[in-house]
Amino acid sequence: MDEQNGNGDERLELWSGEDERPVPLLAPPTTEPSPEPAIHGDPPAAPDAAGRPIRRSAADFSAERILRDTAERPASGWRRAVFDLSGGLIRLGPSAAEVRHRDLVARVKTPIAGCRKVAFISRKGGVGKTTTCLLAGHTFAAYRGDRVIALDGNPDAGTLAHRVRRETGATITSLLTDLERIERYADIRAYTSQAPTRLEVVAADDDPQITDALGEREFRRAIGLLEHHYNLICLDTGTGVLESATRGILDAADQIVVVIAPSLDGARAASSTLDWLEENGYRHLVEGAVGVVNGVRTVNGLVDLARVEEHFAGRCRATVRVPWDAHLETGAETAVEGLGSATRQAYLELAAAIASGFSERFERGS
């Protein structure tokens, strides 16, 4: 806006975004005398709250105190064009989409006290449970600064580790075999593969006869080891909630994500999974659950997805819809940058929904 000062000069001010003061592009002349330069050895201008002289230290030189505000370049759109054309002089407030993105990222970064364990479950195969576990893990690892790991808990030759570049031939079986010799994080890294997002993965054995031998006790031991070295554990499970391995994972989990196919039988299977959990001592997990309607190809199909989401919204703490993405159909290594923008946004929303429960504590066995 333009406004006149008392001397007839014009001053142009632009708002630079939320919670920022106007930045004068043309400052008016001032009649006030310039302050005298500080003289070395002079006492501070003002005492502290107790009346003592303020004691200066190197801590005074923080970025927040010393550096001038800098313009954050908009990610895209006409705001970015204006920013670039003006050389950063014109700073417009963020768009609604940018504000939403910042809010989601802030939620994804919710601090975790100790270790949080999130299990991804579904009684119906082929609904994208493993993919959902992996990409939620990628999203957390990309935005958070702590350690995030995904554990393949599928006793039927799980494929979680095949979606990242393998750095080791070690599996959960070898991890358990050497468990007594693992003391530090540096030791455990020999048993994990790390993706560019910083997500680490512990693989399952390809031989189902080996994985069949892993039950509730073994998975509880593996999770017990991982929680000493990682802040967040994403747990992929098999399709049988009655299996011993899945019971061990559910007993250790703090939260669950229920993956739902966008079909009538998929929604029915997911809801019956919640029924079983409520009836078998896992009501606390249902109360904090997040439902994911996964692989949605069109919103105008025969299945009324709005009614499906309404059903699970009444049973879960949150629901998220993830669109179908061609990049995920190959079943090969998953590159996050290869996903469509709508898919990446959906997984960011999923991670934020999960993270909103990090501070909640549910009483087990309720």
Which residues are CB-contacts of 52 (< 8 A; sequence separation ≥ 6)?
none
Give the model's pLDDT for residue 124. 83
- Domain-wise residue ranges, the chain: 111-355
pLDDT at 230 over 60: yes
Q: DSSP E strands: which ranges in 214-289?
A: 232-237, 255-260
How does pLDDT run across 187-220, given as a tens digit for each residue? 999 999 999 999 999 998 877 666 666 788 999 9
Q: What's the rounded mean pLDDT across residues 252-281?
A: 95
Give the model's pLDDT for residue 48. 44
Give the model's pLDDT for residue 27. 41
pLDDT at 11 over 80: no
CA distance 223 to 175: 11
Cα angle value 120/121/127 (rounded, 5°): 100
Q: Which of 217, 192, 174, 99 is nearest to 137 (CA)?
A: 192
Q: What's the rounded mean pLDDT across residues 336-347?
A: 94
Give the model's pLDDT for residue 210. 67
Neighbouring C-beta atoms of residue 237, cutoff 10 Å: 30
Q: Which of 23-32, 77-86, 141-150, 198-207 has the highest mean pLDDT?
A: 141-150
How does pLDDT run across 109-160, given as a tens digit for each residue? 999 999 999 999 998 888 999 999 999 999 999 999 999 999 998 877 678 8
pLDDT at 93 over 80: no
Exposed (0-12), middle (13-18) or buried (19+): which is 244, by Cβ within 10 Å? middle
CA atoms lying within 13 Å on the CB side of residue 323 = 16
Give the model's pLDDT for residue 64. 41
Q: Which of 227, 231, 256 is nearest to 315 (CA)?
A: 256
Exposed (0-12), middle (13-18) or buried (19+): which is 159, by Cβ within 10 Å? middle
Give the model's pLDDT for residue 19. 46
Give the model's pLDDT for residue 215. 81
The strand order across the sheet containing 2-4 reads 2-4, 10-14, 23-24
pLDDT at 53 over 70: no
What percent of the chain has pLDDT above 90?
54
For the chain, what is the radius of gyration of the CA atoms?
27
Give the model's pLDDT for residue 52. 52
On average, the pLDDT of the chain sits at 81
Give the model's pLDDT for residue 8. 46
Give the model's pLDDT for residue 92. 66
- CB–CB of 214/155 below 8 Å? yes
Report how far Cα 196 is from the mean position of its chain's Cα atoms. 15
pLDDT at 38 over 60: no
How does pLDDT run across 317-339, given as a tens digit for each residue? 999 999 999 988 877 788 888 99
Whole-model pTM?
Answer: 0.75
- CB–CB of 252/221 below 8 Å? no
CATH T-level assignment (fold) for domain 111-355:
Rossmann fold (3.40.50)
Q: What's the rounded mean pLDDT across residues 219-241?
A: 92
Q: What's the rounded mean pLDDT across residues 163-170?
A: 92
If phi > 0 it is left, if psi is from -120 to 50 it is alpha, else beta; for residue 231 that is alpha
Give the model's pLDDT for residue 141. 97
Exposed (0-12), middle (13-18) or buried (19+): which is 236, by Cβ within 10 Å? buried
Residue 24's pLDDT band (cuts 50, 70, 90): very low
Strands 2-4, 10-14: pairing kind: antiparallel
Between 356 and 90, the more confident residue is: 356
